[in-house]
Structure 1
Amino acid sequence: MSSIDNTRMDNSSSNASIMEVDEDEDAILDAEDVSSSSSTSSQIDTIKHSAPPLGRSDSGSSVSYIDLSKLLFASDFDFGLNIDHMSDSALKKLNNMKRKTQQTLTKYNKKQKKNLELDKLQEIFNQRLAKFDERIHRNLQSSSTEKLFYAVSIFIIAAAGFVIGKYPIYFPHFHTAIFVVLMPIRFYTYFKQSFQYYLADLCYYVNMLLMIFIWVFPNSPRLFVSVFSLSLGTLSFAVITWRNSLVLHSIDKTTSSFIHIMPPVTMFVMVHELPEEYVKQRYPGIAAIDNWNFMSAIIITSIYYTIWQVSYHYFISIRKKDQIENGKVTSFSYLRKKNQKTILGKFVNGLPYLWMQTLAFTLIQFGYQLLTMMFCPIWYKYKHACGAFVTFIFIWAAYNGATYYIDIFGKRLEKEVEKLKREIVSLQQENEKLQFSPLAKPQVPDDDVKPLGEVMG
């Protein structure tokens, strides 16, 4: 329903009023206090016949909806009246009404827009809180598989101690059973993650040599010397240099600790815990070594090491060169990147050709192997020294695991909190900009703007 109230037309001595238009009838014009002047009657008839019919119709024949605020902004909108025949006073009042209505609607729209912006900021804030909570739960909670593997890992450690103390002759079998279970999992996960070239590293080579010695060539003293030197040399110290962590809920990290810790433990048991008669019968290669010959051990171990190093560079660095250049990760590329700020890293990366870098890396690694195996004569001769060293390596891996649990999880939580703080500060800054923006300040003084109902009245 639309209405026009108290719009007066001054013409000489006559006044005309246009009252409200009924919803159910065609624009009925009701004139009050109309004088007998013929000119006034003529004007009223003109307005009556020129005004378009205003009425309600069904939805099928009605025109599309028109926003009233847009009509008020149109300067030539005449509200269905022929304003050319209106007096200056009535036209002035009509324009004043349009202006105030326009100002009121402008202020209202700006307030609405501001409220919508604030609601949007609140919604964004709530969404980021929800994401923060989700990230925290995802980082801190463990799956059922991880919980189960944690329990299994504890049981394996306890069972290993029991087997070493009660049935040491079965410890190589115990080692083999765990190896058969974990290695297929490691191969599957590494191929799935495109880390398969890590499987050609020295630690896997030494584990395979140990399995070959136990089950294929137990009577080979040279193979035993090489396995003992590599196990209690490079593999043991790799726990320190590579920071292997005994994280019992993680299959990946526990497997990495297994392939570095179990070979030296098995060597300790086979050399110092097995009965002599059993060693002579089951592992004659160990019984054949009366005294550890340092130079002979270095030469024999170097031969086995060279076989691995040449095979590695041929099958990985040369045959798979294109795939490595396309992003496949190897231990060589990882160490180059990790140690690029160290003295050795700067030296290797500073060499002009790749083959020079590869050769330098190989020589450094070989020197590291020779350095770590210098203690092997002590580990072979003295049982308690060897046991203390193996225990130290296990404790070091356990300490790295504790660091992972305490520091890594704590740092993850701290990073998430800091990220949430930055998001909240960003939202606060956006809110402050919104409050002090022109949208928050009406361009028309509040005293000059009245409510729409008051203006229409």
Structure 2
Amino acid sequence: MAKKGSDGLLLSQKFAGANKENESAVIDDDDDEQGFYASSNASQSSLTGSPTLVRNDSTVSVPYLDLSKLMFANDFDFGFDLNGVSQKTKRRVKSIKNKTKEKFNIYNKKGNIELDKLQDILNQRLVKFDERIHKNLTSSSTEKLFYAVSVFIIACGGFVIGKYPKYFPHFHTGLFIVLMPIRFYTYFKQSFQYYLADLCYYVNLLLMLFIWAFPQSPTLFVSVFSLSLGTLSWAVVTWRNSLVLHSVEKTTSSFIHIMPPITMFVMVHELNPEYIQERYPGIAAIDNWNFAKSLIITSVYYTIWQVSYHYFITIKRKEQIEKGKVTSFSYLKNKNKSTLLGRFVNGLPYLWMQTLAFTLIQFGYQLLTMLPCPIWYKYKHACGGFVCSIFIWASYNGATWYIDVFGKRLEKEVDKLKLEVGKLQQENEKLQYSPVYRPQAVNDDVKFVDLNNEQGKENVPIQEIKDSKPGAVSSAI
């Protein structure tokens, strides 16, 4: 810029570090893509002493948002030295300065803060989404190790059955000793300890007693065989036990229901008769399965468990159950309340009647599942096929859990993220029409002041700036 008789400093040059004296320029927002234009008649401007509009140089311009932040500085003087101007001019410039600061304050409150908040929300939701996916799909080191150990144990179990079947009860006992303390610890920690009094744990305990304490007892054997190949086996179907190998909890539940019938199959059909006679005389004492006698014997053992259960759990722990402790009885009442049988049990007026009805239904279920036991005892291949089908059923439930549950979890997380992103996009579209992106046009006439005019005379406006475009450099007076 040549000298034009003005002492003002060009705003953009001041930001670039230029400090040329005796220069004057007035820059304002323009809606034309070419930026800032010079006056149509520069010669006339020089004659009249009025300031000239010049095209802004992009290399020295200040970005819009950065300039808006500079506006809030207390010592920001808009590039003017106001010491040599009249008080009227100072007041006018100060008024324009205050208006500009107010405008930028409004823009910042409506725009920048909301945009920053929007960006923070989006980042937080993306981080949470990543954490949820990582939690759902990535197993811990312990779970990975347990998965590998579970596969190895299943392979070892098959090897022992085929090569050393007489040691399979020992193999079962070793797993029982390892898994049961873990189950007790986790259930007490989760306040599920009353589930440990269920029938499945009772049958496993009876099986351990038969193997190591009373192998000569035919009645104990009949009860264990009937309960193992009866209620425990069918519980895999009714309770949907899943062989999820990375989960200690689910694998232990499958072990409790599947291993006793497998062990009974091995002890009855895979062991040498001489070894059975010597090691398990209670099995050798049963030549033919007496169905009626087996029902009576098993019912006695079942009644012992049921009476003990209701005495020590339902009666002795009544207060704790009322406080929220969960039992299999309360769980089944709530789970099946919409079914015909559940509505019948829950519709009984007294708790003791509900308990009695639940007990009789459970006993009837036990008798029903015991009906095929003579076939399982007499025919090896039928018993082996049944045990294999139970194992396959648990494996299928485990596969369903892996595929469907993980898949549904991932699908839910993706849908949730889509919904969140959609909302953020809608907010972003609203913000696009905010003053940050589309500042309102300045309708007031822009008046220019010749700072060299000691009398502070106002010059005729050279240009009115209307409908300013987003992204333009902020105006200077």
TM range (shorter): 0.7 to 0.9
Give the number of the structure whose residues are more often helix, by fraction. 1
1:104 and 1:452 in contact (8 A); partners too: no
1:116 aligned to which of 113, 117, 140: 113
Counterpart secondary structure, 1:217 = coil
Question: 1:248 maps to what in 2?
Answer: 245
Matched residue, 1:421: 418
Shift of 1:135: 1.7
Counterpart contact for 2:222–2:297, Cα < 8 Å: yes
Of the structure 1 ranges 395-404 and 332-341, higher mean CA displacement relative to structure 2 is found in 332-341
Query: Is the CA contact 1:195–1:330 (under 8 Å) kept in the aligned structure 2?
Result: yes
**Which residue is equivalent to 1:291?**
288
Q: Give the structure 2 partner of residue 213 of structure 1.
A: 210
Query: TM-score normalised to the size of structure 1?
Result: 0.77
1:54 matched residue in structure 2: none
1:372 pairs with 356, 365, 369, which one? 369
Structure 1 unpaired stretches of 5+: 7-65, 70-78, 81-85
Of the three residues 95, 101, 105, the one matched with 1:105 is 101
Q: Check if 1:152 corresponds to 2:149.
A: yes
The question of 1:228 aligning with 2:231 is answered: no
Change (3 A) 1:354 1:433: farther
CA distance in 2, matches of 1:193, 1:204: 18
2:428 aligned with 1:431, yes or no?
Answer: yes
Instruction: Give the corresponding residue for 2:396.
Output: 399
| 1:193 is aligned to 2:204 | no
Report the counterpart of residue 329 of structure 2 in structure 1: 332
CA–CA separation in structure 2 for the residues paired with 1:304 and 1:362: 14
Q: Superposed, which structure 2 residues align to 1:277-316 within 5 Å?
A: 277-316=274-313
RMSD: 2.9
Q: Deviations over 1:127-149 (max 9, x none)?
A: 21122112211211112211211
For 1:273, give the aligned amino acid: E
Change (3 A) 1:437 1:377: same
Residues 111 and 440 of structure 1 are in contact (CA less than 8 Å); yes or no, is this contact kept in structure 2? no
Does the aligned pair in 1 maintain the 2:112–2:436 contact within 8 Å? no
Which stretch shifts more, 130-139 or 445-454?
A: 445-454
CA deviation after TM superposition for structure 1 residue 220, in Å: 0.9
Does 1:385 find its partner at 2:351?
A: no
Structure 2 equivalent of residue 42 of structure 1 = none
Compared CA separation, residues 452 and 134, structure 1 to 2 (3 A): closer
- Quick check: 1:233–1:376 contact (8 Å CA) kept in 2? yes
Match of 1:358 in 2: 355
Tell me which residue corresponds to 2:165: 168
Q: Which amino acid aligns with 1:381?
A: K
In the TM superposition, what whole-angstrom CA distance separates every residue of 1:252-289 from its partner, at most 9, and x where no partner exists?
11110001000000111111111111111111111111
Residue number in structure 2 paired with 1:27: none
Evaluate the alpha carbon distance shift between residue 448 and residue 375 of structure 1 in structure 2; reply closer, same or farther with a 3 A threshold. Answer: farther
> What is the TM-score normalised by the length of structure 2?
0.74
Over 3 Å counting, the alpha-carbon distance change for 1:430 and 1:198 in structure 2 is same
**Where do residues 239-278 of structure 1 align in structure 2 (5 Å cutoff)?**
239-278=236-275
> Which of 126, 143, 159 is residue 129 of structure 1 equivalent to?
126
CA separation in 1, counterparts of 2:475 and 2:265?
A: 96
After superposition, what is the alpha-carbon deviation per residue over 1:289-314, rounded to whole angstroms, capped at 9, x for unaligned?
Answer: 11111111111111111111111111
Shift of 1:94: 5.6
Number of residue-to-residue matches in the alignment: 381
Amino acid at match of 1:306: T
SS of aligned partner of 2:174 = helix
Q: Percent identity?
A: 74
